[in-house]
Structure 1
Amino acid sequence: MIRVLLVDDEAVVRAGVRAILGTDPDIEVVAEAGDGHEAVDLARRHRPDVVLLDIRMPRLDGLAALPELRRTVPGVAVAVLTTFDEDEFVVRALGDGANGFLLKAADPRELIIGVRAVAEGAAYLSPRIAQRLVAELRGDRLSRPDAARSRVSALTAREREVLALLGEGLPNQAIARRLTLSEGTVKAHVSAILQTLEVGNRTQAAILAHEAGLTR
């Protein structure tokens, strides 16, 4: 069962998201919060698998709450759920450790797919956001591939294989099956990759994998 903490200041939105998630028998909303402070308290108390976090909220907004969630409940996956898809929000959320970025206006099925993905340890971006990032990587940031390849060259051959699959959005279990490794070994490789590349989470590592040309 995937246990979810739903954080949004609008009760109507929370009710709608809860109803959508309720269509999946493997997902349970264990608590709801209306602001960032309450979200941190409830995450500490309930230890959910996933926090669905709105950006614009009173008292403490989602972007401000994200680092605090990472500090107090380091094992939780955080997916930002918002109507705002401006680049500054995406970059800041990913930089502060978000595992996913979902849009409220997206297809309801995308919400379930995203929650399942981040719960399994994968990174997930709304296709609309991912498309824009890919276009940016191919266009305005053509100078970055060389820098990315240089950073990736510090990894071992096996770590590069793991990074390539991580860049495809695969969770540890799927990577283990693909490379015929134990899941514990994959977790150790991922930790080493994050440390060597000096990135804070799997999403940032996946972006580097794309920039370095490791993904298909």
Structure 2
Amino acid sequence: MQEEHWQGALWLGRDHCLLAGVSGSARPHAHYAHQLLLATGEPLRLSVEGRAQSGRALLVPSQRAHAFELAGQPLLALYAEPLAFSLEQLEQLAASVPAEPEALAERLRQLPRLPLDARVRQALDALDEQLVERISARELARRVSLSLSQLERLFAEQVGLSVRRLVRWRRLRLALVLALDGASLTEAAHAAGFADSAHLSRTVRELFGIRADRSLRHLRLRLLD
């Protein structure tokens, strides 16, 4: 069966992104971000962990396997990192913000982020500084005066991912920015710390259920910060 492309504009922020457009084909997948889906046409149809859901506002928590039952659904999709946004905040947004990217982007800009331990924040900053290099969780812990077990415990509690998996998520964000800005998948993969374009493509497929080589060229990039 031929896959249908995702289309529209991707508004990318540091800890969230917005997709305003039309859904395409996607196999069941799970990713780090909480996902808030707002219908801009007919109610959306989604499968979450094998159970059908339908509505004008659907919320998929982090790491829950899901897939669209139909391609071609007009929508506004928010992908929000759990280290910055709670499910309760996203539920309030769904009830109070129109399904328009400008309005939602402005509300997100004003929304307070979740508090993080200062050492976790320092570790995140250090991680981003050396994102394309080899990152040692043990060295990261040493830089913020923690043991490796303490750092991993704090990441599990406040970030919701291990250091290694957060590195992969942040590298994917960087690679998507580069690819949407005109770089080839090979160039984007190497510049973001992936082994090669195949490694990047597998990661996109695993986390978002789509083929990077077919889907990314149908999206337009706008950086929010």
TM-score (norm 2): 0.29
Larger helix percent: 1
